[in-house]
Structure 1
Amino acid sequence: MRALANLPLALHLTGVAGLAMMLPAAHALVAEDFHVARSFFYSGLLTLIITAFIGIAVNQRHGAFSQREQLATLVASFTLLPLVLAVPLYEGSQNTTFLNAYFEMVSSLTTTGASLYEGTGQLTKSLHLWRGIVGWLGGLLVWVVAAATLAPMNLGGFEITTAAGGGEDVTLIRRGTRQRTPAGHIWYALSTLAPIYISLTLLLWVLLLVVGEDTLRALMHAMGTMSTSGITIVGHVTEDNAGLAAEVVILFFFAFGISRLTFSRDVAGRRERLLTDPEVQMAGIIIIGLPMLLFLRHWIGAIEVNEHSDFTAGLLALWGSVFTVASFLTTTGYESVAWNEARDWSGLPAPGVVLIGLSIIGGGVATTTGGVKLLRVYALYKHGVRELNKLVYPSSVAGMRAYGRRIHRQGAFLAWLFFMLFALSIAAVMSLLTAFGVGFEEAMIFAVAGLSTTGQLAHAGADVPLTYQSLSDGAKLVVCFAMVLGRLEALALIALFNPNFWRN
């Protein structure tokens, strides 16, 4: 086991990918889809054999892998591992190109959920299951890497906390593991977080089965919710026999994309209360306040009262707003079956702009969500409030609450720096997409969808739903780059060019 633990992270990920291929192989075998079963079985077997040979060849290296080496491996994994994951999808589908299969796997592994085939009927159920499994494993990978690698390196949102500024070991792992090697941190984080992640997925799956969802769809929705990938076989969560009950169940599990305290209370050795967490408070304000504004707009006089102005339709519209706002805030991208009623009720001329803004804000730090993250938005908000107070009382001295003291003195500056990097990334991706013939508005939506890891924005963010199939091959590669950049964040990539990385 010690020799196995000393192997590079890339080999572990490749081995897990090979084992995971056996699940859709078994599903296809039961469904008597023998071609797809052979494609996954042979691909998984070949992957495991090659991984074993490489592991034997490098097992003599006992040197410790640094955190920066693991970060570089993570960058390579999000770009190169999908090449391995795409092989069974390409062989099994028989009606796609390898580039399309690669795009699909990058989207799934980065928990973006952008699909070329969702709802088209071009893929069998076993192939859709493979998309969901890859997205679910990508979510678990984000949990583990955030705890074991990004947090100790003060990346991924932890750079704005006082622990990050004071040299304290910021980690979601308990204090007793501070003496572990970076590889040991990953194994400990996996053993700590994986049971929680698996248990929550199984619980959500069972609850969705109870409310009447089909077995495979319930599993896909459970994996898509926990990983915030939003991967599904159908366009809406309720396009089956479950009804709105499925959305009610899923809404509660969006909490795990809002704050890390919902699944791990140990942050730099301190225990925080969930209700006092600023990420939870900000998410609550957005999820409650924004739907109420859309709901009340019906009576403010923005539109004429029409046939939808009865009590039942009003409640349905309110629910559609609450679920969809929570879904896109956590960058899951599930669209409520009542979202059309909510759009008609509010009368917004361009409701997709609201969803784009929610996706840019994103969810909590160290969760599977993308976007700028709620903690950075909180730091910017507190800084803005303080500056406004200083305009009125220039000599005032502000006090801080317990959590406010944990924000680094330069926390707002670092949050603003990341926000500007995010905005520049949108501009850069838009420029590349327009160079490949994509229109300005479409390029903006595709760029935000990739960088915020909310692939469903292409359908929900425009007046006329967009499809990734309409993109050229070059534009698809640009979107793949945007999805990897959005998943890892620009600061993590910039950290690789730190001079200390090369000196070590």
Structure 2
Amino acid sequence: MMVPAVYGTAVRELEAARAFFYAGLLGMIVFTLVAVAHAGRMPRHGALGPLMSLLSAFVALPVMLALPFYEALPTTRFINVYFEMVSAITTTGATVFDDPERLDRTLHLWRAQVGWMGGLVMWIAASAILAPLHLGGFEVTAQAEPGRRESGSGGQRAHADPRERLIRVTRALLPIYFALTLLLWLLQLFGGETPLIAICHAMSIMATSGISPVGGIENANIGIPGEAVMFLFMLFALSRLTFSQDTVTATQGGLLTDPEFRIGLLVVSVVPLVLFARHWIGAYDVAEFENISQAAQALWGAVFTVMSFLTTTGFVSEHWATAQSWSGLSTSGLILMGLALVGGGVATTAGGVKLLRVFALYSNGVREMQRLVHPSSVSGAGAVGRRLQSNGAFIAWIFFMLFAMSLAAITLLLTLAGAGFEEAMIMSVSALSTTGPLMQHAAEAPIAVLELGVAAKIVLCGAMVLGRLETLAIIALLTPDLWRS
């Protein structure tokens, strides 16, 4: 909170600066007292204790994060600010403030910063908390059941002190995360972007939060070179192997053979071509197909936007609308919803179902078709591949079913809270896939979250937390092992 306090003082937004300064002091005092009270105590919640702490952080911490925001913007209700902070810390990026001009620059910086910190939390939690418990996508290639540790040497390593593991992972990943954000910020500054917008967009790209102080990069006028730089940094959300070797796929041949990275590149290559072909046919009907400049811009707009929604960032290219003006055809929001549902890589800041689970189901389908032709054949995929084709695909299918039931339940609750069916479906997909900008771009008209009732906003807050932690992690918290210990 001291960062926006200093920035608010520098730009003479003194009321906001004072709110963040006092809230920061209050927070340091409270958490220091809590730390002193817990000093020297042994954890009493066993293996799932860190997971419960992670859930508590997403539910309770936004209350503290919302205090300076609420003090600096007294014209809104606290539920709106709490929704904003839950959306930011879960890297969803949905906002109740459709008009960026309503918020001060300090508040925009705070939204982006909270989203950036939420992305960092997930980067660290993936290795330090979810991986030992085989959750968050790690269960697809693990031998143990989700929420349980393997026996043997791997289990002995997993029983290391959770605090030591958190510190070790933080020391390894924090410099990488910070350096990549700083590099992206500097590259945008060299491209002529203003410092505040550049740092907010840099933090949003690294956290895949899609938070923007100007309502999206289509309003930033950074051009194709600036979008190309962002595109390159979105690759980090396709696979953990782009920046770390701590996942189970790291031993399978590196990044070039990583199934998540290859599937992501395939989607980013094929879907824009399909969209471009559709718009080209529309342009042919209106005799606009010879406009090469608009065609190139339309193709790039499709490539960037597909990459953005596949990584659950949600930024729309400046030239996304060029395709519509070129052909006269609109782009279906179902495509964007489908991309967000697929999501990015395991153990990244991206949300969604995750590419590894999609690959597991694909491998299982291919294997089953081979067995139709050769029933007695033995898979040549190796021990890891065979486990992925059988147990991994089974667990991935379970997750798909849980995700579908969660989607149906959230949609039903939102309709009971007064939302229309189409709006409820879009908001449910947006929250569960942590892709907030879907609410602005998937429907014919942007969904006004501010006009929703309190019940609907609470349901969306719960859905965003559920989408960030995933259903399997929540179910793991309900196991008796946690409470017996």
TM-score clears 0.5? yes
% identical equivalent positions: 49
- 1:278 aligned residue (259, 265, 281): 259
Q: Distance in 1 between matches of 2:423 and 2:413?
A: 12
Q: Distance in 1 between matches of 2:245 and 2:67?
A: 39
The aligned counterpart of 1:259 is 239
Q: Distance in 1 between matches of 2:428 and 2:49?
A: 29
- 2:28 aligned residue (41, 48, 52): 48
- 1:140 aligned residue (110, 113, 120): 120
- 1:317 aligned residue (282, 285, 298): 298
Mapped contact 1:163–1:169 kept (Cα < 8 A):
no
Task: Kindly provide the amino acid, as one letter, of the partner of residue 254 in structure 1.
Answer: M
- Residue 249 and residue 164 in structure 1: after superposition, are their counterparts in 2 closer, same or farther (change >3 A)? farther
Q: Which 10-residue stretch deviates more, 235-244 or 372-381?
A: 235-244
Task: Kindly provide the amino acid, as one letter, of the partner of residue 381 in structure 1.
Answer: Y
The aligned counterpart of 1:124 is 104
The aligned counterpart of 2:273 is 292
Mapped contact 2:286–2:327 kept (Cα < 8 A):
no
- Residue 257 and residue 263 in structure 1: after superposition, are their counterparts in 2 closer, same or farther (change >3 A)? same
Q: Distance in 2 between matches of 1:454 and 1:345?
A: 27
- 1:61 aligned residue (27, 32, 41): 41
Report the alpha carbon displacement of residue 118 of structure 1 after superposing the two structures with TM. 4.5
- 2:417 aligned residue (436, 443, 457): 436
The aligned counterpart of 1:482 is 463
Task: Kindly provide the amino acid, as one letter, of the partner of residue 6 in structure 2.
Answer: A
Q: Distance in 2 between matches of 1:258 and 1:247?
A: 17
The aligned counterpart of 1:458 is 439
- Residue 300 and residue 402 in structure 1: after superposition, are their counterparts in 2 closer, same or farther (change >3 A)? farther
Per-residue Cα deviation, 1:38-90 (whole angstroms, up to 9, x for no partner): 10000000111111122222224144763301111111111110000000000
Per-residue Cα deviation, 1:303-326 (whole angstroms, up to 9, x for no partner): 724436411111101000000000
Per-residue Cα deviation, 1:359-418 (whole angstroms, up to 9, x for no partner): 000000000111000000000111112222333333433321686356263111110110
The aligned counterpart of 1:449 is 430
The aligned counterpart of 2:132 is 152
Matches within 5 A, 1:1-80: 21-63=1-43, 66-80=46-60
1:167 is the counterpart of 2:150: yes
Report the alpha carbon displacement of residue 272 of structure 1 after superposing the two structures with TM. 3.9
The aligned counterpart of 2:374 is 393
- Residue 466 and residue 339 in structure 1: after superposition, are their counterparts in 2 closer, same or farther (change >3 A)? same
SS of the residue 1:266 aligns to: coil
Report the alpha carbon displacement of residue 236 of structure 1 after superposing the two structures with TM. 2.9
Higher relative contact order (CA 8 A, sep 6+): 2
1:107 is the counterpart of 2:123: no
Report the alpha carbon displacement of residue 115 of structure 1 after superposing the two structures with TM. 0.7
Report the alpha carbon displacement of residue 301 of structure 1 after superposing the two structures with TM. 7.1
Higher helix share: 2
Mapped contact 1:65–1:183 kept (Cα < 8 A):
no
Q: Distance in 1 between matches of 2:383 and 2:42?
A: 43
Q: Which 10-residue stretch deviates more, 40-49 or 177-186?
A: 177-186
Report the alpha carbon displacement of residue 113 of structure 1 after superposing the two structures with TM. 0.2
Structure 1 alignment gaps of length 5 or more: 1-20
The aligned counterpart of 1:356 is 337
Per-residue Cα deviation, 1:189-245 (whole angstroms, up to 9, x for no partner): 111100000000000000111111111000000000000001111223142352222
- Residue 389 and residue 309 in structure 1: after superposition, are their counterparts in 2 closer, same or farther (change >3 A)? farther
State the Cα RMSD in Å: 2.3
Mapped contact 1:445–1:457 kept (Cα < 8 A):
yes
Q: Distance in 2 between matches of 1:58 and 1:446?
A: 39
Q: Which 10-residue stretch deviates more, 302-311 or 349-358?
A: 302-311
Mapped contact 1:390–1:396 kept (Cα < 8 A):
yes
Report the alpha carbon displacement of residue 474 of structure 1 after superposing the two structures with TM. 1.0
1:181 is the counterpart of 2:161: yes
Q: Distance in 1 between matches of 2:152 and 2:412?
A: 39
The aligned counterpart of 1:211 is 191
1:492 is the counterpart of 2:467: no
Report the alpha carbon displacement of residue 247 of structure 1 after superposing the two structures with TM. 0.5
Per-residue Cα deviation, 1:312-357 (whole angstroms, up to 9, x for no partner): 1111010000000000000000001111123455766552110000
Mapped contact 2:235–2:242 kept (Cα < 8 A):
yes
- Residue 91 and residue 494 in structure 1: after superposition, are their counterparts in 2 closer, same or farther (change >3 A)? same
The aligned counterpart of 1:7 is none
Per-residue Cα deviation, 1:398-444 (whole angstroms, up to 9, x for no partner): 32168635626311111011011111111100111001110000000
Per-residue Cα deviation, 1:443-494 (whole angstroms, up to 9, x for no partner): 0000000000000000111112212112111111111010000000000000
Task: Kindly provide the amino acid, as one letter, of the partner of residue 34 in structure 1.
Answer: L
Q: Distance in 1 between matches of 2:153 and 2:118?
A: 23
Per-residue Cα deviation, 1:95-117 (whole angstroms, up to 9, x for no partner): 21111110000000000000111
Q: Distance in 2 between matches of 1:119 and 1:177?
A: 50
Q: Distance in 2 between matches of 1:224 and 1:210?
A: 18
Per-residue Cα deviation, 1:281-321 (whole angstroms, up to 9, x for no partner): 10011000111111123455797244364111111010000
- Residue 168 and residue 314 in structure 1: after superposition, are their counterparts in 2 closer, same or farther (change >3 A)? farther
Q: Distance in 1 between matches of 2:475 and 2:437?
A: 28
Structure 2 alignment gaps of length 5 or more: none
- Residue 401 and residue 212 in structure 1: after superposition, are their counterparts in 2 closer, same or farther (change >3 A)? farther
